[in-house]
Amino acid sequence: MGISEILKGVNSFQKSSFKKNREKFIDLVKNGQNPKALFVGCSDSRVVPNVITDSDPGDLFVYRNVGNFIPPFSPEVIFHGTAAAIEYAVSHLNISEIIICGHSHCGAIKGLYQRDKMDDTSMAHLKKWLELGERAKKIVENILATKELSHEEKLKMTEQISVVFSMQNILTYPKVYERVQDGSLSIRGWYYIIEKGEILYYDDEAMEFVSIK
């Protein structure tokens, strides 16, 4: 989709979708947003949170990054978009759910296995960011030492384990941990299979991803 198609889409939205939902948008301006969930997803263009959850404007507070990674909490106050989104959602919007959604065919996870080939200048920030997935990669490499997996199975396992580690990392944020402990906040791990339109969720007891029914 080039810029001409994008501009046509903007025009279509203004003439059609916006007019149909005008009152909804006006209400969101007058009364502000009140989403119940923070959705942390991947920047991948094939993964659109409001589409896969069939939700409306104002329903989800969405934060997307490459690989849907959650870095561990750091006491250093630096430019940190992920931490800022988490703090805003948990402390200001008072959301009650955090959904961390990984997906199939993730370019970030594929990139984990190609980090050594990345250019240190043109892809320096991406190369550094992908370090957040190294823990999941090492777990899978240890499994490969005792079990044969196809390349596709290896990537899928890394995608899913990475979500679990992000679920652990988000609990290092003090306010998140506090609210999980008092029962006012839940953390959920999802895995979206693009080619099936199916979402799996992480079952803590079974320690695996199972289908949402």
Query: DSSP labels for the chain?
Result: --HHHHHHHHHHIIIIIHHHTHHHHHHHHHH----SEEEEEE--TT--HHHHTT--TTSEEEEEEGGG--PPP-SS----HHHHHHHIIIIIS--SEEEEEEETT-HHHHHHTTGGGS-TTTTHHHHHHGGGGHHHHHHHHHHHTTS---HHHHHHHHHHHHHHHHHHHHTTSHHHHHHHHTTS-EEEEEEEETTTTEEEEEETTTTEEEE--
Q: Rounded to a whole number, what is the largest CA-CA distance in the chain?
A: 59
Q: Given this model, what pLDDT does residue 117 score? A: 84
pLDDT at 144: 82
Enumerate domains of the chain plus CATH numbers: 1-31 (no CATH), 33-211 (3.40.1050.10)
Which pLDDT does position 63 carry in this prediction? Answer: 98
Q: Tokens 């920030």 label which residue?
A: 125
pLDDT at residue 131, rounded to an integer = 95
Question: Which residues in the chain land under pLDDT 50?
Answer: none
pTM, 2 dp: 0.94
Question: What confidence score (pLDDT) does residue 75 get?
Answer: 86
Give the model's pLDDT for residue 68: 98
User: Comparing C-alpha atoms, which of 82, 90, 144 is closest to residue 113?
Assistant: 144
